[in-house]
């Protein structure tokens, strides 16, 4: 099987013609363009055995010729799709199951089941405009503009996308070409993290992709420093981009939450590694600024969701006179709707797309010949970093219940950064029980401090509501909310007290250094 590497971009339906007229297509073209009508049938068993094996089986008609394609394995990060692919010509419009078995993606027992139950699951029909392009560094990229539809039973989903497939050369050029295309358009283009096959399956099953949490990062003591950085940033970027569609097309707040977690993890990664990358400070500073912009864009929507749909319902459930508080809740939900729309606009902006593409380019261009400030190993570096940060956290001996909001906020940020650092380096110390307990303790404290911070945010949110309403009318319910906040915050601090006290006695590593 060969390795297919391609970048997918989604474009608005009304701009197909504008894409075909981009000057970059003629200036980089090394072969006459082609226009084809493609008809594809995707097969699987009723219980989707192939999909569960991370495999797809497709037969496609191109002109009078049928071609069978099997794709398996691989991954998708920030619009970049990498899969194993095997193709053969067919004599007729029927799957060749011997080809499937020869790829090694299924067992003999699975093949027997497939022979008995294989059936069409969905089809795709689209027109494809193809241009073969050569970039300045000699990389060959196939540019495909697809527009049509996916059909499963009686359900349809439209296709309006660009595929940039690397035929030879440097995969980083896919991101550069996408960046060049985006800069030439006056309409929004998005990276697409879901391929046609997965979209077809979702149409068939009615399922949706659940929110994506941070994946584990596999490094060891022999992992080169830049490889560790690349794996860390790629993991964060995967979490960020995989939750994008959920924020744009779903009302589930967990997608937004996971995007914010990914942003915080990216910011933490740059803080951790930046001191050893002095030659890269200009690039890193740019990414830090863009991450700050993105976080400021996402945070109000998340804060108003917590206020309107988590905090106020808790008060309403225990308050005898709920109608005035429901008025405030309705105003909070109005703010939530406003800031959610802002988030969705920003995620479809040129600025966001450029940030993702440039970060991908930077990650792919990280070479081993970059001069580091130190030749320290990733094992020594991680241990030293975690111990130094732990010392900084625990040197504050102030009792948690007496800390002012500003001090609690600063502590929350310290704990959060230390937790992310510990998770980045987790595979180095996963066998140490002491380290696992330490990470669990960080998570408990971070979550508790986050809830306390949500309560402190209430003051700002009530002030925002009052600025546009008659204060006298809302004075009583606001007083109730303030009283509830004070009581719950005191209770939360008391609940956290023992966890914090225990944490102050802990260390990331065993005291004897083993």
Q: What is d(CA 182, CA 178) in angstroms, rounded to the nearest whole number? A: 6
What does DSSP say about strands 65-77 and 140-152: parallel, antiparallel, or unpaired?
Answer: unpaired
Element (H, E) at 35: strand 34-44
Beta-sheet strands, E only, within 169-306: 190-191
pLDDT at 472 over 70: no
Confidence label for 105 from pLDDT (cuts 50, 70 and 90): confident
Q: How many CA atoms lie within 13 Å of 97's alpha carbon, on the beta-carbon side?
A: 18
Structure-block tokens of residue 457: 């945010």
Instruction: Give the position of tokens 């590694």.
Output: 273
Q: What is d(CA 33, CA 131) in angstroms, rounded to the nearest whole number? A: 5
Q: What is the pLDDT of residue 329?
A: 93
What is the DSSP annotation of 170-187? -THHHHHHHHHHHHH-SS
- pLDDT, tens only, 286-345: 999 999 999 999 999 999 999 999 999 999 988 877 888 998 999 999 999 999 999 999
Structure-block tokens of residue 432: 């140490």
Selected residue with higher pLDDT from 339 and 460: 339
CATH topology assigned to domain 2-205: Hypothetical Protein Pfu-838710-001 (2.40.320)
Q: What is d(CA 13, CA 25) in angstroms, rounded to the nearest whole number? A: 19
pLDDT at 514 over 60: no
Q: What is the pLDDT of residue 468?
A: 66
Q: What is the pLDDT of residue 471?
A: 59
Mean pLDDT of the chain: 91
pLDDT at 77 over 90: no
Instruction: Give the position of tokens 């495999």.
Output: 55
Torsion of CA 450, 452, 454, 459, to 10 degrees: -150
pLDDT at 2 over 90: no
Element (H, E) at 91: none
In the chain, domain spans = 2-205, 225-503
**62: nearest Cα among 2, 136, 144:** 144
**Residues near 250 by beta carbon (within 8 Å), at least 6 away in sequence:** 208
Q: What is d(CA 156, CA 106) in angstroms, rounded to the nearest whole number? A: 30
**Residues near 459 by beta carbon (within 8 Å), at least 6 away in sequence:** 482, 485
What is the percent of the chain where pLDDT is above 90? 68
**163: nearest Cα among 339, 7, 349:** 7
Confidence label for 369 from pLDDT (cuts 50, 70 and 90): low
pLDDT at 512 over 60: no
Q: What is the pLDDT of residue 62?
A: 92
Q: What is the pLDDT of residue 173?
A: 94
Region 467-495 average pLDDT? 82
Domain 225-503, CATH number (from 1.40.20.10, 3.30.420.40, 3.40.30.10, 3.40.50.720)? 1.40.20.10
**Residues near 150 by beta carbon (within 8 Å), at least 6 away in sequence:** 122, 123, 124, 156, 157, 158, 159, 196, 199, 200, 203
pLDDT at 467 over 80: no
Q: What is d(CA 148, CA 249) in angstroms, rounded to the nearest whole number? A: 21
Q: Is the CB of residue 439 less than 8 Å from the CB of residue 426?
A: yes
Helix (H, G, I), strand (E, B) or coil at 349: coil
**72: nearest Cα among 61, 86, 60:** 86
Per-residue 3-state assignment (H helix, E strand, C coil) for 365-417: CCCCCCCCCCCCCHHHHHHHHHHHHHHHHHCCCCCHHHCCHHHHHHHHHHHHH
Q: What is the pLDDT of residue 214?
A: 94
Work out the burial of residue 207: count CB atoms within 10 Å of its CB; fewer than 13 is exposed, 13-18 middle, 19 or more buried: exposed
Scored b (16 or more CB within 10 A) or e, 55-80 reads bbbbbbbeeeebebbbbbeeebbbbb
Q: What is d(CA 119, CA 98) in angstroms, rounded to the nearest whole number? A: 16
Confidence label for 513 from pLDDT (cuts 50, 70 and 90): very low
Q: What is the pLDDT of residue 469?
A: 61
Q: How many CA atoms lie within 13 Å of 8's alpha carbon, on the beta-carbon side?
A: 18
Confidence label for 193 from pLDDT (cuts 50, 70 and 90): confident
- pLDDT, tens only, 113-122: 898 999 999 9
**421: nearest Cα among 389, 446, 453, 398:** 389
């Amino acid at each position: 099987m060969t390795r297919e590497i391609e970048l997918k971009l989604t474009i608005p339906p009304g701009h197909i013609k504008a894409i075909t007229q981009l000057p970059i297509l003629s200036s980089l073209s090394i072969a006459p363009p082609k226009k084809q009508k493609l008809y594809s049938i995707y097969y699987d068993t009723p219980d989707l055995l192939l999909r569960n094996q991370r495999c797809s089986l497709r037969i496609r008609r191109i002109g009078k010729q049928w071609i069978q394609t099997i794709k398996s394995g691989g991954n998708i990060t920030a619009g970049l799709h990498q899969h194993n692919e095997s193709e053969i010509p067919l004599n007729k419009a029927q799957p060749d199951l011997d080809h499937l078995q020869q790829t090694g993606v299924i067992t003999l027992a699975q093949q027997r089941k497939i022979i008995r139950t294989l059936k069409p699951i969905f089809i795709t029909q689209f027109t494809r405009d193809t241009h073969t392009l050569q970039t300045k560094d000699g990389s060959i990229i196939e540019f495909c503009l697809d527009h049509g539809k996916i059909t499963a039973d009686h359900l349809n989903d439209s296709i309006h996308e660009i595929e940039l497939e690397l035929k030879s050369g440097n995969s980083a050029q896919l991101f550069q070409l996408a960046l060049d295309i985006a800069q030439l358009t006056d309409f929004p283009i998005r990276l697409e993290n879901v391929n046609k096959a997965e979209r077809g399956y979702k149409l068939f099953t009615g399922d949706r992709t659940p929110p994506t949490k941070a994946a584990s990062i596999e490094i060891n003591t022999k992992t080169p420093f830049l490889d560790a950085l690349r794996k860390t940033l790629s993991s964060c970027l995967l979490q960020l981009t995989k939750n994008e569609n959920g924020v744009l097309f779903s009302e589930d707040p967990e997608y937004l939450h996971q995007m914010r977690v990914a942003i915080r993890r990216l910011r933490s990664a740059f803080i951790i590694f930046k001191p050893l990358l002095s030659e890269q400070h200009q690039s890193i500073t740019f990414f830090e600024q863009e991450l700050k912009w993105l976080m400021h864009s996402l945070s109000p929507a998340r804060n108003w969701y917590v206020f309107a749909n988590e905090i106020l319902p808790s008060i309403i459930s225990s308050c005898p006179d709920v109608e005035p508080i429901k008025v405030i809740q309705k105003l909070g939900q109005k703010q939530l709707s406003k800031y959610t729309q802002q988030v969705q606009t920003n995620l479809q902006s040129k600025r966001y797309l450029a940030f993702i593409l440039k970060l991908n380019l930077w990650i792919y261009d990280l070479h081993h010949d970059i001069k580091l400030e130190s030749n320290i190993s990733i094992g020594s570096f991680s241990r030293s970093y975690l111990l130094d940060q732990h010392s900084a956290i625990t040197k504050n001996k102030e009792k948690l219940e007496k800390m002012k909001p500003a001090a609690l906020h600063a502590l929350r940020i310290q704990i959060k950064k230390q937790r992310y650092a510990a998770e980045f380096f987790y595979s180095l110390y996963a066998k140490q029980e002491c380290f696992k307990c330490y990470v669990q303790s960080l998570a408990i404290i971070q979550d508790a401090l986050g809830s306390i911070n949500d309560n402190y945010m209430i003051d700002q949110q009530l002030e925002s509501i009052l600025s546009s309403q008659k204060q006298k009318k809302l004075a009583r319910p606001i007083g109730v909310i303030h009283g509830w906040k004070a009581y719950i915050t005191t209770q939360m601090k008391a609940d956290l007290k023992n966890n914090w006290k225990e944490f102050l006695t802990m260390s990331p590593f065993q005291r004897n250094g083993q």
